[in-house]
Structure 1
Amino acid sequence: MPTAVSADNEIRAYPELPGQCRPARFVRVLLQTVLDDLRAEQEELDALAGSLTEAQWRLATPSPGWTVAHQIAHLAWCDDAALLAVTDKQAFLAFLDSVRTDPQAHIDRGAAEGAAASPEDLLARWRAGRGVLLSTLRRIDAGSKLAWFGQPLNVVTLGTARLMEVWAHGLDVADALGVTREPTHRLRHIAYLGVRTRDNAFHRRGLTPPEPFRVSLSGPDNQVWTWGPPEADQRVTGTALDFCKLITRRIHRDDTTLTAVGADAERWLHIAQCFAGPPGPGRPPKTTDTRFGACSG
């Protein structure tokens, strides 16, 4: 499911970018970084999907009713929607109006229609669509605002949202195949998206967002990524991998190593999501999960 957050100040999450760069330069550099990482994430999933047998394409994934083919078809569907948003605003707004009454039904239909194609045709569609989208995003003004699901996004956030989706649905594919994917530095983009969508998670449940938290996550190679005021009373700490699984609702809170200090911080870990649309039931705890549980996004 597409993300629902705007991130005009996303550049603040990347203090290691050259300090002498002007803000506009920051955004251009960040956009290219995000798109490079999006391409790498796509290629990693492609390497996995491209070697599958016909039977493996039909394996069930953690998303109820979705096979491996549905997962790849959904990514292709979202890339098509993103390209439309970038190239034809009026057509995209008309598309939004057509799906507004029941977006999940349209998402499921798009996945089912794509999954009905042969694996070769589906892979070809995904590869072609994502290639055109990437090349188009590289050419447009990095500061552009685009209509999107939920609310308008800037280009950097759209690229980050695509990366998040590829990673999350790639996890579903890997789960179906019994494959463990190693975490990479690309998790930083997804983790930041989770931090930026914190208030949205509270709003969706009719709750008033509390004061900002301090979030400190350990990434690959002993990296530490932090967001929020250092003096904040409420905090979340743990691994970036668990945090990213949680905010994409690919893991139950009880199965993470995340630590929350403060009641609101703990509540957030039970409701966090970095995508638009209804949260769904999420994954059940492993103690009650015989194989797969429900997920959304």
Structure 2
Amino acid sequence: MSELLDALLADLKAEGDQLWSVVSGLDEEAWATPTPAPGWDISTQIGHLLWTDEVAAVAATDKEAWDALVLQAIADPEGFVDAGALEVGRMKPAALLARWGAAREGLGVALRAIPEGQKLPWFGPPMSPASMATARYMETWAHALDVYDTLGIEPQITDRIKHVAHLGVRTRNFAFSVHELEAPAEEFRIELTAPSGELWTWGPEDAAQRVTGSAYDFCLLVTQRRHRDDTDLVAVGEDAERWLGIAQAFAGPPGPGREPAGSGEGSA
């Protein structure tokens, strides 16, 4: 098994464990607390994570069941994922936690069992096990932030967020495409300061279009958990500035993002 996948799954587990330690201590009333995503309470947030973990495991292990899910998604492309989260989120907290625990473990087993070089189908392009683990990390991290924001908890910020930053950089052209914009032909230079103080970089040093700033703020932006105006990110170049206004590391149609601080919250 690749060292990369092992490391990704270890980080995914650590992020999930952190969220688990918070929600497992909540009473039933707290699970019904609305989060910054309109219509989603804490139960829905956890329901979404467990539902997607289960679906990813199905994609990796059961072609017939996966094909049936794809047909459901085609029938309701805009609401399919949310419907799954809302349905599962109606479970009692204890049952929800038990099922999420099983889903987390099952996903790791399924991804490790995929033969080297083989990809699993997904709602977009097929994904390698490492890419799926990275995507699951990004979603776990982002939805955990919604829960922490709801409960007024300061999240533990670690260098594990490099997975989110890397995905945010890699999805630059996707962000342009979902907004029906032509992606820039040239590469950008991205320089982000990690929570540890390390400098993370992507792209050629002499690129004209550049983005610099905090890696944490960049991750908040590409997961649309903060408005561009509430980050310390600096863009040089018109294309780089445009990208920061539409950046989106998650699949699906354009997200509405969040409103600037003090003016209300947008959808997740």
Cα 1:226–1:142 change in 2 (3 A) is: farther
Check if 1:239 corresponds to 2:211: no
**TM-aligned CA deviation for residue 101 of structure 1:** 3.7
Equivalent in 221, 233, 247 of residue 196 of structure 2: 221
SS at match of 2:196: helix
Check if 1:71 corresponds to 2:71: no
User: Is residue 31–residue 142 contact of structure 1 (8 Å, CA) maintained in 2?
Assistant: no
Alignment partner, residue 89 of structure 1: 63
- What's the % identity of the aligned pairs? 50
Check if 1:275 corresponds to 2:250: yes
Deviations 1:191-242 (A, max 9, x none): 0001110000011111111111001111121111111111111100111111
SS at match of 2:86: helix
Deviations 1:99-152 (A, max 9, x none): 124234222221222121110000000001111111222232342211102111
SS at match of 1:111: helix
Gaps of 5+ in 1: 1-24
Alignment partner, residue 295 of structure 1: 267
Alignment partner, residue 187 of structure 1: 161
Instruction: Quote the Cα distance in structure 2 between the aligned partners of 1:181 and 1:104.
Output: 30
Give the AA of the match of 2:202: W
Give the AA of the match of 2:94: E
Instruction: Quote the Cα distance in structure 1 between the aligned partners of 2:255 and 2:3.
Output: 35
Give the AA of the match of 2:35: T
Spell out the pairing of 1:54-65 with structure 2 (5 A cutoff). Answer: 54-65=28-39
Alignment partner, residue 143 of structure 1: 117
SS at match of 1:216: strand
Alignment partner, residue 176 of structure 2: 202
Q: State TM-score, norm by structure 2.
A: 0.96
Moved more, 31-40 or 102-111: 102-111
User: Is residue 72–residue 80 contact of structure 2 (8 Å, CA) maintained in 1?
Assistant: no
User: Is residue 142–residue 225 contact of structure 2 (8 Å, CA) maintained in 1?
Assistant: yes
Alignment partner, residue 119 of structure 1: 93
Alignment partner, residue 260 of structure 1: 235
Alignment partner, residue 177 of structure 1: 151
User: Is residue 31–residue 155 contact of structure 1 (8 Å, CA) maintained in 2?
Assistant: yes
Alignment partner, residue 103 of structure 1: 77
SS at match of 1:226: strand
SS at match of 2:207: coil
**TM-aligned CA deviation for residue 161 of structure 1:** 0.3
Gaps of 5+ in 2: none
Q: Greater relative contact order (Cα 8 A, min sep 6): structure 1 or 2? A: 1
Equivalent in 120, 142, 146 of residue 168 of structure 1: 142
